[in-house]
Amino acid sequence: MASNCSFDVVSEVNFQEVDNAVNQAKKELAQRYDFKGSKATIDLDKDEIKITAEDDFRIKNIVDILQTKLVKRNVPLKSLDYGKIEPAGGSMARQIITVQRGISKEKGKDIVAAIKNSKLKVQAQIMDDQVRVTGKDKDILQEVIQMLKSKDFGVELQFTNYRS
């Protein structure tokens, strides 16, 4: 078999589902008894979710509500990068959660190193925010996918663009 097979390792997030989850969390905040009269807000701005509330405890409650809504919509929680809870003036606190797109260069290097350390006869290269894996045999590519699924790289991995 002379032709090469390949697939891409990516980390994608469906931003429509993130938007839907944020809107559902806003509705729940408006209806919950423990948030009546509160100035707590949750907003989505491009790839950042901004949460403001009176104290750390309420911010943690809002994050819990948001995570529940994201899980129900099949958005991986590994793709969220939580910032520190910081004062926002006027006795308010703020937390910014960044939704990560793609695989960073550092994570890409970790993935390529894991593939090379597996001693499987494939080539892996970083292409922008994804990793392309090529090999001569489909079965070896399946082994690479299983090996990558078994390891934790800190990001949610999807395997796309499979070509034989």
Helix 56-72 crosses helix 15-31 at what angle (to 10 degrees)? Answer: 130
Give residue-wise pLDDT tens across range 84-123. Answer: 989 887 788 999 999 988 888 888 888 888 888 888 888 8
Would you state the pLDDT for residue 3?
67
List, in order of start, the domains of the chain with CATH numbers: 5-12+103-163 (3.30.70.860), 15-99 (3.30.70.990)
How distant, in Å, are the alpha carbons of 17, 21, 102 from that of 28? Answer: 16, 11, 30
3-state secondary structure of 80: strand
> What integer pLDDT is reported at residue 49 of this predicted model?
92
Residue corresponding to tokens 């006027």: 90
d(CA 6, CA 20) in angstroms, rounded, equals 34
Q: How far apart are CA 8 and CA 10, in angstroms?
A: 6
Phi, psi of 138 (to 5 degrees): -65, -35
Q: Cα dist. 46→99, 130, 137, 160 in Å?
A: 9, 21, 40, 24
**Residue 47 or 3, more confident:** 47
Tens of pLDDT along 23-35?
999 999 989 888 8
Reply yes or no on whether the pLDDT at 2 is more than 70.
no
Task: Take residue 74 and report the two structure tokens written for it.
Answer: 């099949």
The Cβ of residue 65 has, within 10 Å, a number of other Cβ atoms equal to 20
Partners of residue 160 on adjacent β-strands? 8
Percent of the chain with pLDDT over 90: 27
